[in-house]
Amino acid sequence: MLTHAELKLRALANPEVKIAYDSLAEEYTLAHELLHAREAAGLTQAEVATRMQTKAPAIARLEGGGRHSPSILTLRKYAAAVGCQLEVRLVPKGG
């Protein structure tokens, strides 16, 4: 049986899979940042949801990455709920 790392490596050897995977990098980077901030704050998804006046499944969707594109307002609320401030930057390509 393949490990996750081995399966990923094998899948990414396919150029079409690699293109699709790379196209999601920004969304999953954001999802990782959200999850990391929540964990650093020692909060559950339910606790963040309560602070944002929403429900835990909405937080799960935010942290799940992929198709859901949260608004800046939602990201600000999330940041405040986990004791952070939102910072949005544009970084030159290749930099």
Q: What is the pLDDT along the chain (95 residues), one digit of tens a residue?
A: 889 999 999 999 999 999 988 888 888 888 999 999 999 999 999 999 999 999 999 999 999 876 778 999 999 999 999 999 999 988 898 85
Q: CA torsion 27→28→34→39, rounded to 10°?
A: 170
